[in-house]
Amino acid sequence: MTDSALSAVSTRPKSRLPAMWNRLRRNPVTFGALTVIVVLALVAILAPVIAPFDPDATDPAVALEGPSWRNLLGTDVYGRDQLSRLIFAARLDLIVPCCATMAALVVGALIGALSGYRGGWMDQLIMRMVEAVLAFPALVLAMGLTAALGNSIGNIILTLAITQVPIYIRLIRGEMLRVREMEYAEAARAVGNPPWRIVLVHLLPNCIPPLIVQATLAMGFALLTMAALSFLGLGIRPPDSEWGEMTAEGANHMVTGEWWLFVFPGLAVMITVLAFNLVGDGLRDFLDPRMRGVR
């Protein structure tokens, strides 16, 4: 075989990317949802560039005005432009759940891996603790924690992470129970690898696909929990703004008819959560080898 022919063959692993892209394109729902998330992320990053007004600039002259060409989504009590406020709020609304999910993922994966690989009394202990945490409804637990810890942004991230961690622990433990019986696990032991290396290098990477799906679904859930916390006054506080908190503020105007103040922040939460859930669902099908080539 010539050199060029060789290199053509050896590029096979790389060529999976376009193939994945094509499969994604053929699933319009997932593709649409993913587009929404990418656009939202761009909006959050480019907020100062694309927001038409300073989100904190008050203007009593235009207070409580409905959607118009000047203020596309209307203005609030202080005459602040609602669209600009929503755009800037996207930053917190994406970063906080993202940090919480990442933290929960890493901690949950490590504890779950330990629990599943070691087994025995440690596994029992960890699983009972997980069950104890899962026994609380997530929102109630989150409310209790923020009430106890105080609602700084750091604490909200911590709270959201704590409500999620048990789910990852369970997930990874289950996966670990499966892969630790695999022949490659036996082979890794047979060549004298130390246990930590077997778990982290040989086994954990084989547990990742369900973890990605869970993390995407959990992103939506974390956002919803944060919005709910803020709505109840236990989450992000003014002057920081966040969609849940904006919805809560807008809800005060429900009876007086300024509908744009609660409808648009609520829509923002809904669309984002929906997008994450749809991407999570799509990924689940996507990463399941049995579903390959079905569509």
Partner 1 sequence: MSLLELSDLTVHFATDAGPVEAVHKVNLWVGAGEIMGLVGESGSGKTVTAFSILRLIRPPGRIVRGSIRLEGCDLLALSEEEMRRVRGARISLIPQNPRTALNPVITVGGQIARLFELHRGLPARAAWERGVEALDQVGVPEAPRRMRQYAHQLSGGTCQRVMIAMALASSPQLLIADEPTTGLDVSIAARILDLLRELGSRTGAAIILITHDLGVVAETCHRVSVMHAGQLVESASVRTLFQQPMHPYTRALVRSIPRIDREVALEPIPGSVPSLLNASPGCRYVTRCLDRLDICRQILPPLELIDPDHRVACHAVEASRAAVA
Among 4, 5, 13, 60, binds partner 1 (CB under 8 A): 13
Please say which residue, 191 or 255, places its beta carbon nearer to partner 1: 191
Residue linked to tokens 């799509």? 282
Half-sphere exposure of 201 (CA within 13 A, CB side): 8
Q: What are phi and psi of 81, to 5 degrees?
A: -75, 120
6 binds partner 1 (CB under 8 A): yes
Hey, how many other C-beta atoms are within 10 angstroms of the C-beta on 190?
Answer: 9
Cβ atoms of 244 and 96 closer than 8 Å: no
Between 63 and 201, name the residue whose CB sits nearer to partner 1. Answer: 201
Shortest Cβ 144–partner 1 spacing (Å): 40
Is 122 a binding residue for partner 1 by CB under 8 A? The answer is: no
Q: Smallest Cα–Cα separation from 173: which of 99, 120, 103? A: 120
Q: Which of 4, 10, 22, 256 binds partner 1 (CB under 8 A)?
A: 10
- The residue among 164, 162, 135 whose CA lies nearest residue 146 is 162
State the nearest-atom distance from the C-beta of 195 to partner 1, in Å. Answer: 9
Residue 184 binding partner 1, by CB under 8 A? yes
Q: What is the C-alpha separation between 64 and 189, in angstroms, rounded? A: 68
User: Total binding residues for partner 1 by CB under 8 A?
Assistant: 22
In the complex with partner 1, the residue whose CB is nearer, 90 or 207, is 207
3-state helix, strand, coil in the chain (%, to 5): 75, 0, 25
Mention every residue, 6+ apart, whose C-beta is less than 8 A from residue 15.
none
DSSP bridge partners of 81: 75
CB 185 → partner 1: shortest distance, Å?
9
C-beta of 85 vs 202, nearer to partner 1: 202
Residue 131 has what DSSP assignment?
H
- CB nearer partner 1, residue 78 or residue 184: 184
Shortest distance, position 189 Cβ to partner 1, whole Å: 6
Q: What tokens were used for 233?
A: 């006054």
Of 178 and 253, the one with the shorter C-beta distance to partner 1 is 178
**Of 60, 205, 239, 293, the one binding partner 1 by CB under 8 A:** 205
Contact flag: residue 288 with partner 1 (CB under 8 A): no
H or E element in which residue 35 lies = helix 28-45
From 17-25, 88-96, 165-173, 199-207, span contacting partner 1 (CB under 8 A): 199-207
DSSP helix/strand/coil, 201: helix
Among residues 149, 206, 210, 237, which is the contact residue for partner 1, using CB under 8 A? Answer: 206
* Of the candidates 232, 233, 94, 97, the residue with the CA atom closest to the CA atom of residue 159: 97
Q: Which is nearer to partner 1, 43 or 114 (CB)?
A: 114
Residue pair 108/167 in contact (Cβ under 8 Å)? The answer is yes
Could you give the string, one character per residue 144-183, with x where binding to partner 1 holds by CB under 8 A and - elsewhere? --------------------------------------xx
Q: Whole-angstrom Cα distance, residue 260 to residue 85?
A: 13
Q: How far is the CB of 7 from partner 1 (least distance, A)?
A: 9
Single residue of 18, 28, 60, 192 touching partner 1 by CB under 8 A: 192
Interface residues toward partner 1, by CB under 8 A: 1, 6, 9-10, 12-13, 182-184, 186-194, 201-202, 205-206
